[in-house]
């Protein structure tokens, strides 16, 4: 039976999580052993089992800790006043992008990109639940903006996908070191993204109709 975790135990637990995150990001989940983690922390491998029953539980704890921190901050943002939809959406986009560039988030993203899919397919982690844990909050915000008349009355879930998709694509490009201005300047990207989201990509109906007719008669 694991011993109760006191203050010193909490520090040791956090040290284990920090070491595991760094090692998983560097060597991959499958390339890292609990012995590696214990060595990095400076404890016996057997001591790790006082905190985590195995490597999968350790990885789940990493995901849960990051998700809990994001949820707390995101809830305050999403459930706050939404007088100006553009300001709310831009603040949300900038919050997401600012979080993406945090060192711990970049490490976690490398792990998920390299080993996350395999872990999910093998049933070792519930990646869908972890990645979509805040989706209901995003949907609630979109529905609130729809009810206020700020957005068209369409499926809120679809709006969330349209809003989050470009931000996730930005994250991928940033992770591989893309140096284009649109990637380097995340705040400019957030503003442009919100403008595109609110205005849509379609041209004026008369312009679109005219071009379609020209194409058909060419």
pLDDT tens digits along 91-137: 999 999 999 999 999 999 999 888 888 888 887 777 666 666 778 88
∠ CA 208-189-173 to the nearest 5 degrees? 100
> pLDDT at residue 30 above 80?
yes
Domain edge (last residue) among 53, 75, 97: 53
CATH for 174: 1.10.357
Span 1-23, mean pLDDT? 79
Decide if 216 is inside a domain.
no
Look at residue 1 in the predicted model and tell me its pLDDT.
35
Same domain, 121 and 83: yes
Decide if 42 is inside a domain.
yes
Decide if 130 is inside a domain.
yes
Which ranges of 1-155 would DSSP assign to H, the alpha helix? 7-27, 34-41, 45-48, 55-78, 85-100, 103-111, 117-121, 127-131, 135-147
Count of beta carbons in the 10 Å neighbourhood of residue 195? 12
- Structurally, how many domains does the chain consist of? 2
Decide if 162 is inside a domain.
yes
Same domain, 45 and 65: no
How many whole angstroms separate alpha carbon 103 and alpha carbon 175?
11
Q: Give the structural domain span for 25.
A: 1-53
pLDDT tens digit string along 47-73?
999 999 999 899 989 888 877 767 777
């Amino acid at each position: 039976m694991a011993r109760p975790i006191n203050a010193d135990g909490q520090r040791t637990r956090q040290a284990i999580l920090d070491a595991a995150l760094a090692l998983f990001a560097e060597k991959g989940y499958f390339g890292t052993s609990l012995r590696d983690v214990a060595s990095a922390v400076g404890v016996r491998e057997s001591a790790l089992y006082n905190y985590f029953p195995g490597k999968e539980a350790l990885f789940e704890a990493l995901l849960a800790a990051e998700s809990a921190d994001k949820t707390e901050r995101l809830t305050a943002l999403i459930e706050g006043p939404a007088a100006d939809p553009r300001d709310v959406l831009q603040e949300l986009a900038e919050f997401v992008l600012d979080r993406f560039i945090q060192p711990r988030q970049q490490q976690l993203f490398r792990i998920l990109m390299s080993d996350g899919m395999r872990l999910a397919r093998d049933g070792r982690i519930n990646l869908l639940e972890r990645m979509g844990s805040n989706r209901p909050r995003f949907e609630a915000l979109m529905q609130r903006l729809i009810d206020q008349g700020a957005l068209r009355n369409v499926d809120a879930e679809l709006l969330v996908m349209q809003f989050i998709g470009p931000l996730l694509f930005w994250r991928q490009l940033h992770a591989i070191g893309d140096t284009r201005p649109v990637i380097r300047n995340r705040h400019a990207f957030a503003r442009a993204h919100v403008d595109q989201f609110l205005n849509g990509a379609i041209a004026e109906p008369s312009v679109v109709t005219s071009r379609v007719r020209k194409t058909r008669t060419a």
